[in-house]
């Protein structure tokens, strides 16, 4: 038996795979993969691949299901004969019931990770099904802890957390890109703007976590009365940035519910 199997090593699966290899908790020999694409096989040629989903699931202790929700139901094409395999799903929207419909009555853990797991800065939400013993849950949780922060969350909130962690990198990249574009428009070179904007995001995130100030206090600290920051903030407020973000998050959650029905 291999310690851990990856059903799909696309953008998210590969971030977890490479993150845990970089962390040193698993070696390449501990890992088994199934992914149909030849390009992916070439990219991960130092790892052992198997010929199909069934062989993978039947030969690993922990199976990380990292396929798109759209192809999830294709996994039903096999009768899986599993020993003690624990199924860990990162598939957006797919519930324990959906997982049971594929793998039968097993131990399931749902996880919502994000791609910074690749560099050890992941933010992962994990939910515990009552059927899963603590020792199994803690083992899986500790895997994700090697690639960033992990928070327990109620299983029925796994879709609601997606904009806050799973999708958040995309929103922040979008945000960062807009600021960098503005700097470039004003004549600042792209690399300089990229470094300063990125470090401003890292520093601000650390201020939220490491100081005991509220987010409102932190905002106030940057906005001197009648100062430049405040003028910019007024434009965001006048354009209902808060409402736009709220709607974006709701649309993301709504889509997760739609994906669960595919």
Q: Which residues contribute to the site for ligand NAP (CB under 6 A)?
A: 7-13, 34-37, 40, 53, 66-69, 71, 74, 90-92, 112-115, 166
Instruction: Report which residue's Cβ sits closest to ligand NAP.
Output: 10
Sort strands 48-49 and 31-34 into parallel, antiparallel or unpaired. Answer: parallel
We find the least distance from the C-beta atom of residue 168 to ligand NAP, in angstroms, to be: 9
We find the least distance from the C-beta atom of residue 252 to ligand NAP, in angstroms, to be: 11
Q: For residue 36, which of 3, 77, 93, 1 has the smallest C-alpha distance?
A: 77
CA 19/CA 35 separation, integer angstroms: 18
Give the containing element (helix H, strand E) for 259: helix 241-260
Query: Which residue lies nearer to ligand NAP by CB, 9 or 147?
Result: 9
We find the least distance from the C-beta atom of residue 117 to ligand NAP, in angstroms, to be: 9
Helix axes 190-210, 215-222, angle to 10 degrees: 140
Query: Which residue lies nearer to ligand NAP by CB, 63 or 132?
Result: 63
End-to-end CA, the chain: 32
Query: Which residue lies nearer to ligand NAP by CB, 28 or 68?
Result: 68
Query: Which residue lies nearer to ligand NAP by CB, 40 or 196?
Result: 40
We find the least distance from the C-beta atom of residue 93 to ligand NAP, in angstroms, to be: 7
CA 43/CA 234 separation, integer angstroms: 47
- 150 CB contacts (<8 Å, ≥6 apart)? 124, 125, 126, 141, 144
We find the least distance from the C-beta atom of residue 185 to ligand NAP, in angstroms, to be: 29
Query: Which residue lies nearer to ligand NAP by CB, 40 or 55?
Result: 40
């Amino acid at each position: 038996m291999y310690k851990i199997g990856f059903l799909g090593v696309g953008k998210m699966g590969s971030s977890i795979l490479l993150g845990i290899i970089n962390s040193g908790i698993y070696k390449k020999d501990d890992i088994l993969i199934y992914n149909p694409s030849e390009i992916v096989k070439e990219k991960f040629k130092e790892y052992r691949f198997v010929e199909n989903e069934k062989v993978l699931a039947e030969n690993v202790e922990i199976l990380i299901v990292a396929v798109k929700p759209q192809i999830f139901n294709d996994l039903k094409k096999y009768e899986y004969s599993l020993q003690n395999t624990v199924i860990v799903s990162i598939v957006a929207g797919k519930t324990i019931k959906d997982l049971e419909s594929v793998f039968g009555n097993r131990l399931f853990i749902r996880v919502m990770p994000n791609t910074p797991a690749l560099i050890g800065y992941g933010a992962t939400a994990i939910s515990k099904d009552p059927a899963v013993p603590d020792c199994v849950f803690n083992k899986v949780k500790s895997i994700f802890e090697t690639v960033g922060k992990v928070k327990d969350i109620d299983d029925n909130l796994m879709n609601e957390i997606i904009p806050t962690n799973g999708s958040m990198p995309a929103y922040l990249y979008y945000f960062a890109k807009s600021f960098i574009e503005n700097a470039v428009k004003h004549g600042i070179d792209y690399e300089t703007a990229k470094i300063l904007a990125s470090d401003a995001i890292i520093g601000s995130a650390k201020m939220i976590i490491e100081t005991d100030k509220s987010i409102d206090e932190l905002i106030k600290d940057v906005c001197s009365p009648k100062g430049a920051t405040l003028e910019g903030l007024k434009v965001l407020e006048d354009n209902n940035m808060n409402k736009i973000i709220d709607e974006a998050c709701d649309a993301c959650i709504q889509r997760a519910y739609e994906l669960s029905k595919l």
